[in-house]
């Protein structure tokens, strides 16, 4: 190859190389831009998802609380005071109506309480009812205290008892 041919070839190849380099730079910048866009988009999507998840959680929680309140409003087993509820419970026990007796407890403790009193047997049930009578008399004498918001009543004489006020103003036994 002659020097002229060599020079001519270089003049033809040089612009092609420049064009290829330029295309590669543009492609590289485009890839970087798309990667950044994907990262930002992913972050925005995760933020949106978190907000919507929190909103759905709040919505589900509100629905659950409304259902619980509705169930509590429909529950009419109990008295207008903790002492009255306790007396109704004692009366049901004396009649061996364990199903009714367990209904004076809050919903989540009802089944366990029913099983407990069914398993007592007659002698233990009489002793238990007698102890509940002492508890009842102590409450009437002023033993126990209401919570600051007046939604709970607790006493511990002769043993621990906890009562909760339902939204329909019915007192339920939480535990004895």
| Low pLDDT (below 70) residues in the chain | 1-18
Q: Quick one: pLDDT at residue 12?
A: 58
For 97-160, list the strands marked E by DSSP: 145-146, 152-155
Expressed as residue numbers, the domain containing 18 is 1-74
For residues 90 and 66, state if they share a domain.
Answer: no
Q: Which of 39, 74, 109 is the last residue of a domain?
A: 74
Do 83 and 170 lie in one domain? The reply is yes
Q: How much is the pLDDT for 68?
A: 92
How many domains is the chain built from? 2
pLDDT, position 38: 86
Q: What does the pLDDT look like over 96-138, one tens digit per residue?
A: 999 999 999 999 999 999 999 999 988 999 999 999 999 999 9
Dist CA 7 CA 68 (whole Å): 90
Q: How many CB atoms lie within 10 A of CB 19?
A: 10
Same domain, 45 and 56: yes
Residues 86 and 8 in one domain: no
């Amino acid at each position: 190859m002659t020097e002229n041919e060599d020079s001519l070839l270089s003049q033809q190849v040089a612009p092609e190389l420049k064009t290829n380099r330029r295309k590669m730079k543009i492609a590289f910048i485009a890839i970087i831009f798309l990667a950044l866009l994907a990262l930002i988009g992913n972050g925005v999507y995760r933020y949106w998802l978190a907000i919507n998840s929190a909103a759905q959680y709040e919505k589900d929680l509100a629905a659950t609380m409304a259902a619980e309140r509705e169930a509590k409003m429909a529950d009419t087993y109990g008295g207008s005071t903790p002492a009255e509820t306790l007396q109704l419970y004692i009366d049901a026990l004396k009649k061996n109506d364990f199903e009714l007796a367990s209904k004076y407890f809050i919903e989540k403790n009802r089944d366990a309480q029913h099983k407990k009193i069914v398993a007592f047997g007659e002698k233990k049930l009489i002793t238990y009812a007698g102890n509940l009578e002492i508890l009842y008399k102590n409450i009437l004498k002023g033993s126990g205290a209401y919570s600051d918001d007046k939604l709970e009543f607790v006493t511990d004489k002769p043993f621990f008892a906890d009562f909760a006020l339902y939204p329909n103003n019915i007192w339920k036994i939480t535990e004895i």
